[in-house]
């Protein structure tokens, strides 16, 4: 199976050929800081199965890991333990993230308490009527 994805502005694109390894969410503080949210969701592939059509910028997020991102729009795109044969791409950078559902959670003890209540929040629809072009950025 072929998985394709990229950043919000479209500058960075990748392809990952299946079979994939695991899909997970991570609640650790590094992932919270890197995403600006309560967790990051990833799908892991053997690194040789991931092809970057345009390479992302990379920074060392610790002495053991590096993260890929788009320097133009800031989209987080990947995570890799140094020396690992695997590369994880961010699940929601896939063109069709609904294809994969996370199967495990790392550092669940670091999840904010309010994460447990997300399903109970009131919902609101995005209103695109004032600026129909804004919908184009929702890809």
pLDDT tens by residue, 64-88: 999 999 999 999 999 999 999 999 9
Q: Which two tokens stand for residue 94?
A: 């896939």
Whether residue 41 contacts residue 90, with contact meaning beta carbons closer than 8 Å, is answered with: yes
Report the mean per-residue pLDDT for the chain: 94
pLDDT > 70 in the chain, percent: 98
pLDDT for position 134? 78
pLDDT tens by residue, 99-113: 999 999 999 999 999
User: What are φ and ψ of residue 109, in 5° steps?
Assistant: -65, -20
Answer yes or no: is pLDDT of 95 > 80. Answer: yes
pLDDT band at 139 (very low <50, low <70, confident <90, very high): low
> What is the number of other CB atoms lying within 10 angstroms of the CB of residue 4?
14
The CATH architecture annotation of domain 2-110 reads: Beta Complex (2.170)
């Amino acid at each position: 199976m072929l998985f394709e994805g990229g950043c919000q502005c479209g500058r960075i694109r990748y392809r990952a050929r299946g079979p994939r390894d695991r899909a997970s969410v991570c609640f650790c503080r590094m992932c919270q800081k890197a995403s600006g949210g309560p967790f990051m969701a990833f799908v892991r592939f053997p690194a040789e199965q991931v092809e970057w059509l345009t390479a992302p910028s990379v920074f060392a997020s610790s002495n053991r890991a590096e993260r890929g991102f788009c320097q133009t729009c800031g989209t987080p795109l990947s995570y890799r333990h140094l020396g690992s044969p695997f590369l994880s791409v961010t699940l929601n950078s896939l063109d069709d993230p609904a294809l994969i559902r996370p199967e495990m959670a790392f550092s669940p003890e670091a999840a904010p308490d309010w994460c447990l209540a997300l399903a109970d929040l009131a919902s609101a629809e995005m209103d695109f009527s004032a600026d129909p072009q804004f919908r184009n950025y929702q890809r």
